[in-house]
Structure 1
Amino acid sequence: MFRLASMLYSIIASAMAGAGVIAVLSAGYVSLTPILAAAAAGAVLAVPVSYLVARKLTGS
């Protein structure tokens, strides 16, 4: 399941980080620090999400 979760992570992390960056930019923050923080938060939050998705897909 770790292999599936790591493959899903690459997709889910980029989607969540991109959504965070879009949210920050649409809120009017255009400096580097909020953009990097949103991208990092998306990447960190994608770890449990990818694990949960992999668990649902495998049925365990």
Structure 2
Amino acid sequence: MTRLAGILFSIISTSLMGIGIIIALVSGNDTLNPILIAAAIGFVVAIPVTWIVSKKIVDQL
């Protein structure tokens, strides 16, 4: 499960970080700090999301 979680994390984290950056830019925050904060939040949120998704995939097998 660890290898699966690592592969999924690379996909899920970049997706959530990108969503956060787009939200920051659309809301008018176009300086460095809000963009970095949005990316960091996406990175942190990706950890439990990856764990849940990988657990559900392994349980299905």
- Under a length normalisation based on structure 2, what TM-score does the superposition of the two structures give? 0.94
Q: Alignment length, in residue pairs? A: 60
Q: Which runs of 5+ in 1 are unaligned?
A: none
Q: Which runs of 5+ in 2 are unaligned?
A: none
Partner of 1:25: 25
Partner of 2:59: 59
Partner of 2:6: 6
The RMSD of aligned alpha carbons is: 1.0
CA distance in structure 1 between the partners assigned to 2:32 and 2:14 by the alignment: 18
Q: Percent same amino acid at aligned positions?
A: 45
Structure 1 residue runs of 4+, over 6 Å off?
none
